[in-house]
Structure 1
Amino acid sequence: MTLDLQNYERKARESVQAFWGNRERAKQKQLESGKADRGERAGVTAGKNMDGFIALVLDLVHANGLANAEVYQRRAVLTLPGYFRPTKLWDVLVINKGRLVAAVELKSQVGPSFGNNFNNRTEEALGTAHDFWTAYRKGAFGQQPRPFVGWLMMVEDAQQSRKAILDRSPHFPVFREFQGTSYLKRYDILCQRLIQEQLYAAASVLASPRTAAQTGEFCEISELTGLKMFVTTLAGHIAAEAAR
Structure 2
Amino acid sequence: MADQDSATQEAARDRQGRSRSSQRRPVSVQQPHFKVFPEFIGASYMRRYELFCRKLVLERHYTASAFITSSISDGMGGNYNTPSNDLSVERFARTLIAHVSACA
Task: Give structure 2 stretches of 5+ with no counterpart.
Answer: 1-14
Map 1:86-235; keep pairs closer than 5 Å: 158-169=20-31, 174-212=36-74, 213-214=76-77, 216-235=78-97
Offset of residue 227 of structure 1: 0.9
Counterparts of 2:34 and 2:68 in 1: how far apart (Å)?
Answer: 31
For the residue of structure 2 that corresponds to 1:158, the secondary structure is helix
1:128-172: per-residue Cα shift (whole Å, max 9, x none)?
xxxxxxxxxxxxxxxxxxxxxxxxxxxxx7333322112133798
Counterparts of 1:186 and 1:162 in 2: how far apart (Å)?
Answer: 10
For the residue of structure 1 that corresponds to 2:66, the secondary structure is strand
* TM-score, reference length from structure 2: 0.67
Counterparts of 1:199 and 1:173 in 2: how far apart (Å)?
Answer: 21
Contact 1:195 1:202 in 2 (8 A): yes
Counterparts of 2:85 and 2:34 in 1: how far apart (Å)?
Answer: 31
Counterparts of 1:160 and 1:208 in 2: how far apart (Å)?
Answer: 13
Identity over aligned pairs, percent: 31
What letter matches 2:60 in structure 1?
A: Q
List structure 1 runs of 4+ shifted beyond 6 angstroms: 170-173
For the residue of structure 2 that corresponds to 1:199, the secondary structure is coil
Counterparts of 2:33 and 2:94 in 1: how far apart (Å)?
Answer: 42
Counterparts of 2:94 and 2:21 in 1: how far apart (Å)?
Answer: 31
Coordinate RMSD, CA, aligned: 2.5
Counterparts of 2:48 and 2:20 in 1: how far apart (Å)?
Answer: 15
Contact 1:185 1:221 in 2 (8 A): no
Counterparts of 2:95 and 2:52 in 1: how far apart (Å)?
Answer: 18
What is the aligned residue count?
Answer: 86
Higher relative contact order (CA 8 A, sep 6+): 1
Q: Which moved more, 1:185-194 or 1:217-226?
A: 217-226
1:91-116: per-residue Cα shift (whole Å, max 9, x none)?
xxxxxxxxxxxxxxxxxxxx9xxxxx
What letter matches 1:231 in structure 2?
A: A
Distance 1:159 1:200, change over 3 A: same
What residue number does 2:7 align with? none
Offset of residue 176 of structure 1: 2.9
For the residue of structure 2 that corresponds to 1:207, the secondary structure is coil
Task: Say which structure is richer in helix.
Answer: 2
What letter matches 2:81 in structure 1?
A: C
